[in-house]
Amino acid sequence: MLGGARRVIGVVVAASLLATIVPVGGVVAKETKAARIRECRDADAPPRFRRQLVTAIRISRDLPMAWVDSPNLRRIVCWQGTGYDQDFREAGTRFHVWHGVFAMTVREMKTIQGTWMTARRDAYELSPACFVHGWERCTRTTGNRDVIQQLIAGLRWIWLQYGNPRKAWRFIKRFGRFTSYPRLGTADAATTAPFRRCPVDRPVYYRDDFGERRTVGGYHPHWGNDVIAPAGRRIRAPFDGFAVAHRDNWFAGIWVTVVGKHGYARNVHLKKVVRVGRVETGDVIGLVGSTGDARGPHDHFEWHPWVAPFPLHQAPSGFRIVMDAIDPYPFLNRVCRSSSARAVADLLPRGYPERPLGI
Ligand SMILES: [Zn+2]
């Protein structure tokens, strides 16, 4: 009995010694990561965390209350290493500073700020100004408390990128950090050739409509290009990555995000999702449709690079960047080659609108 206890103590001492003399190096970094995952498997959260989650989810109006008791959220925060500290701040590269409970960057916060990024029309809008410039400069409402905004932002980011916390946990086990650019195993340099193939089987028609005016969910500039093709046409992963499906019933409809080494691409208004999870370039992930607020079949295609290339292409609308999305037009031109509007119109049903506006 005593011997057993001594042996256990011995193992613990050896393990903690090992932890203190961990040198820098690829193999050891991997071991440390594995140790962190093990440590976080049964992560404890401070008692206030659950209460704050309940408040945040209630205020958001678009996040599932079931997430409150998901052990994965506690695991994710533990894995991030923020220690539930609302003032957490960590500089990564010169591009990235991680903030708050979920260790998010300002760009990530901006990505999920607008109502058009939520599943509900009347959902709570976040204030990135508070996140960036400090809470004391914001209106004092329950929703504008720093921890509530951080929690909503983090939860929406999980919803946006992974669909649910369980998938997020699977993903971080594979790649490291779940938020923040860049993730482990992703590129830290900008690319001007992010796509290895056209996201929609040709012939397709698109033009440089990035930044054009859209009004669903409140005014916002168009985040991508509308790639027009008949309903049912195959949509394919433009690079190797991880595909995630989402759905709402008022603006984007059914949509699939592919998260890859250089950033993530989003395909919106799908008729159907074909495949999610690990995907390789060219895998069919969905079919062109007109769900959400689309007035005709097309793939609303967005490109969100981890690091934006310089100089950035400027669309005729004057926009170069909208939140963290940049104009995919010059990159689509490398892999798609737009057909004439007339040629594509022949493939479409009668009365197809010239500009199939959606989000
Ligand atoms: Zn669009």
pLDDT grade for 291, boundaries at 50, 70 and 90: very high
Q: How many CB atoms lie within 10 A of CB 290?
A: 18
Which residues neighbour ligand 1 (ion) by CB within 5 Å?
226, 300
Radius of gyration of the chain (CA): 22
CA of 356 to the centre of ligand 1 (A): 8
CA of 358 to the centre of ligand 1 (A): 5
Q: Is residue 21 predicted with pLDDT exceeding 60?
A: no
CA of 225 to the centre of ligand 1 (A): 6
CA of 325 to the centre of ligand 1 (A): 13
What three-state secondary structure class fits 233?
Answer: coil
pLDDT grade for 93, boundaries at 50, 70 and 90: low
pLDDT at 298: 93
Bridge-based pairing of strands 321-322 and 298-305 is unpaired
Question: Cβ(281)–Cβ(263) under 8 Å?
Answer: no
Domains annotated on the chain, with CATH: 31-175 (no CATH), 213-345 (2.70.70.10)
pLDDT grade for 29, boundaries at 50, 70 and 90: low
Reported pTM: 0.73
